[in-house]
Structure 1
Amino acid sequence: MAAKALPKGLDASANPDPFPSTYKPLPGKTVAIVGANILTATGKEIDGGVVVLEGGKITAVGAAGTAVPQGAEIIDGKGKWVTPGVIDAHSHLGVYPTPAVQAHSDGNEATDPNTAQVWAEHSIWPQDPGFNRARAGGVTTLEILPGSANLFGGRAAIVKNVPSVTYQGMKFPGAPYGLKMACGENPKRVYGSKGRSPSTAMGNVAGYRKAWIDAAEYMRKWDEYHAKVGRGEKADPPKRDLQLDTLAGVIRGEILVQNHCYRADEMATMIDISHEFGFHVAMFHHASEAYKAADILAKENVCIATWADWANFKMESLDGIEANAAIAHKKGVCVVIHSDDETITQHLNQEAAIAMTAGNRIGLNISKADAISWITANPAKAIGILDKTGTLETGKAGDLVVWSTDPFSVYAKADKVFIDGALVYDRFDPAKKAKSDFELGQPGAGEFQ
């Protein structure tokens, strides 16, 4: 007699996304932006070019004279610049929202070194005004992460930066989950202060290894169960464990590791652990010493997400330098400029400009065509959505920004922001400046700071 199927809530493989996206693109038109300087994030810069949005997708990108569909709305791009939508690969909007009060402080489940069972999306407050301000800075997609108190902080969620009543209405359809991990000072400080392990760097490493051993055993039990069921044999299922579900998802390659880690030596250790247990680190976040380990990172195809010039605020950031991103880029590392901050997310284009300038000051000759990838294509790659967005290429989602001037200028502002071909922000149209319910009636709501 064939084994009876388990209720889907008792077998993770039966329902891998129990909180499915309900995102639906906003209505859009056929639009042609004509005469703008275009940075495609594929290494190309097109002067006075054309971008066409149709049916929510990019349908043409090219030089002056590129055909424009009959009846398209024409946007005069002369003197303006067009880039892909900005992607913030390290955000805590919604989980540490504004106003920053204890009632909304939902980013760290700081109760155990391993909280891989928690999911950041369950803490997202969609009414956080920070989403609107980020959109005014050109941000179209964000990865929302738990904090870094724990060795394993929980699952990260990827969201479209659209107004929504629910987080499900923001979830990026088809995007993979991430797992937030943290090495370094934070976990050992949080738990050492409680008289618990880990309290040292070696305690951190022991904690990771134990967790992956447990995950491998959990996978073995479930694989054995599914094999028996597949053969029609009687089998007793293991008890489902939400924490181990997430870690098993990483080993299977379904969930991407997003690892808070500053120091070069600790990044090398985390890479060794990934080899030991058969998973891949998608990206090291903050990565202040990436320039020291750039050869290793490039060889391992590990991205880094960093700031332009945040350093020296704690010991593990002591050797941070302004040229970190630029040096790593020149050595073949996939570089991302991130925010980790509700204000920097509004100015990621200028944060990238600072990092580019720091590299060029020491002779690295990084072009704008390359640097734009730090806030568009590379974060899309690192969080697993480059096949859908992050570059201006035909067939990709119509996620783009029309800038008032060179986006690497301190004076640049996002004039228009499109997500899936729909105009979601217009600097000159109050009707296209969404306001959170929390901000209704407040002057200046929806503007960036």
Structure 2
Amino acid sequence: MMARLALSAALAAFAFPALASAQDIVITNATLAIGDGSAPIENGTVIIDSGTVIFAGPAGNAPQSPAGGTVIDARGQWVSPGIFMPLTNLGLWDVGAVSESNDIRAGNSRFNAALDASTAVNYASQHISVSRAGGVTRATIAMGPSGSIFAGQGAAIDLGADTDAVMEAKSFQLVLLGEAGARLAGGSRVAAYAEFANSLHEAKAYANGNWAGEDALLTRADAAALVSVIDGSQKLYIHVERAADIRSVLALKQTYPALDMVLVGVSEGWMVAGAIAAAGVPVIADPLDNLPAQFEQLAATQSNVGRMVDAGVTVALGGLSGGITGPRTAPQFAGNLVALSKLPRASGLTWGEAMASITSVPAAISGFAGRYGVLANGAAGDVVIWNGDPLEVFSAPTRVFIDGVEQPLTNHQTRLRDRYRDLDQSDLPKAYDW
């Protein structure tokens, strides 16, 4: 037994080298991106004390640094908060075609709303390692739907190189309406809305002690999971694309005023941006929806995000579809929206707005306003040092800190690169010329 325990400990140490504790850090001479929507600050300073930011701003305004802290001269490099990626599947799969390593969907499960994505997070996933090397420090994750319009409960995670990834389990419930919901509910939007209304009705009955038992369409576990949705203590993420469907979803607030809704996808959001803003409902938009991919996206345009922001809608970049879960794609698409603002008759974002759309805004939508995605007094010490403008496609992180702890930037990709980059012909494997 002792030998097995020793072996397990050795393997664990090999796979996850011990990280240093939170450091006192002073970063000077930086081009500083606060992440709050403001423009970059030249000659900026960031001070982290015991893993928490205590100052970020112009060097001339900086207080006295903690004694004995590590001083990093950024030499003009860019410094930003860590990227916060909303609605990803990070940590829920390793190889898409290998079902044993893929926990994105549970097609044969008897449960739907009760599913808890936090129970399947693999902190050793290479997708997490690669994203961390790309400057991503926090994310919210969710499963995809299978046999119901409800995909289950998502979670908030950090991407630190340790064994405790989950920050908050059961942080939101994801439901699909529109075309996707119609397919899952029986072939019509009418059926999807009927299933949604019935589910909330049965959850309310369960909460009041009037559970219908065998006559209920939900399982007891699913009804219990939806109780926190109807009382507003758990966020409800609703995937919807068409303008008419968005209006129908916003109308749900009249029947269920406690719902804490977040719209996801929203390709035609620009058409009803005023209504979304008036309802005070935030949006997680897929910036790739610039052309119609399906009938409910006929009015899709890359100006969608910019027009919604101009109308006063709170918009973060993210989403389950579109392949935007990679490490560099979030900054790249944010940068595209900056470039879009320079095109005639197009609507994009300012640099500050674009940076906020992948840092402070998704953090706030996820319930962590002021804690993550921003360099401000009291925020977590999630800091990324970049070799150039973070929103330029050729820039990359040189150092990443989570809660004031420097993180490794290595992964399978970097190890393969380093292994084969400098090989000459004599180093090739035997029979390579086959």
Normalised to the residue count of structure 1, the TM-score between the two structures is 0.80
Q: Which position in structure 2 is the counterpart of 1:61?
A: 56
The answer as to whether partners of 2:132 and 2:327 remain within 8 angstroms in 1 is no
Q: Which runs of 5+ in 2 are unaligned?
A: 1-17, 212-218, 420-434
Matched, 1:377 2:360: yes
State the alpha-carbon separation in 2 of the partners of residues 441 and 373 from structure 1.
Answer: 28
Number of residue equivalences: 388
**Per-residue deviation, residues 69-98 of structure 1 (Å, max 9, x unmatched):** 333222122321111110110101222333
Amino acid at match of 1:409: E
Q: Secondary structure at the match of 2:56?
A: strand
One-letter amino acid matched to 1:95? L
2:313 to 333, 355, 368: 333
> Of 174, 180, 186, which aligns to 1:186?
180
DSSP 3-state at the match of 1:250 = helix
In the aligned structure 2, how far is the partner of 1:25 from the partner of 1:379? 27
Question: 1:29-40 residue pairs with structure 2 within 5 A?
Answer: 29-40=23-34
- Which digits, 9 at most, give the CA deviation of each residue in 1:252-308, with x for residues without a partner? 222111121111211221222233123334321111111112111111111111232
Give the secondary structure class of the aligned counterpart of 1:353: helix
1:202 deviates by: 0.6
Task: Give the corresponding residue for 1:126.
Answer: 123
CA 1:53–1:302: 2 relative to 1, 3 Å: same
**Matches of residues 370-449 of structure 1 in structure 2 within 5 Å?**
370-424=353-407, 432-435=408-411, 439=412, 443-444=416-417
Task: Using the TM superposition, give the Cα deviation of residue 405 of structure 1 relative to its aligned residue in structure 2, in angstroms.
Answer: 0.8
Q: Is the 8 A contact 1:344 1:351 kept in 2?
A: no
Q: Indicate the SS of the match to 1:61.
A: strand
Q: TM-score, normalised by structure 2?
A: 0.82
Distance 1:176 1:84, change over 3 A: farther
> Which segment drifts farther, 110-119 or 312-321?
110-119
Q: What is the Cα-based RMSD across aligned positions, in Å?
A: 2.7
* Cα 1:39/1:267, change in 2 over 3 Å: same
After superposition, what is the alpha-carbon deviation per residue over 1:138-172, rounded to whole angstroms, capped at 9, x for unaligned?
Answer: 1111111111443111000110112344xxx1111
Matched, 1:324 2:321: no
Question: Which aligned runs of 4 or more in structure 1 are off by greater than 6 angstroms?
Answer: none
**Cα separation, 2, equivalents of 1:219 and 1:288:** 35
- Partners of 1:422 and 1:257 lie apart in 2 by 33
Match for residue 205 of structure 1 among 186, 189, 193: 193
Aligned partners of 2:363 and 2:373 also within 8 Å: yes
Residues 88 and 142 in structure 1, CA contact (< 8 A), matched pair in contact too: yes
> What's the secondary structure of 2:46's corresponding residue?
strand
Equivalent-residue separation in structure 1 for 2:375 and 2:136 (angstroms): 15
Indicate whether 1:110 and 2:89 are aligned.
no
Structure 1 gaps of 5+ residues are 1-23, 192-196, 224-239, 425-431
Q: Which residue of 2 aligns with 1:85?
A: 82
- Identity across matched positions, percent: 22
CA distance in 2, matches of 1:334, 1:256: 16
Letter in 1 for 2:235: L
Structure 1 residue 327: Cα displacement = 0.9
Identify if the C-alpha distance between structure 1 residues 125 and 445 changes in structure 2 by more than 3 Å, giving closer, same or farther. Answer: farther
3-state secondary structure, aligned to 2:355 = helix
Alignment partners' CA distance in 1, 2:210 and 2:360: 36
Q: Distance in 2 between matches of 1:83 and 1:259?
A: 30
Equivalent residue number for residue 157 of structure 1:
155
Distance 1:146 1:445, change over 3 A: farther
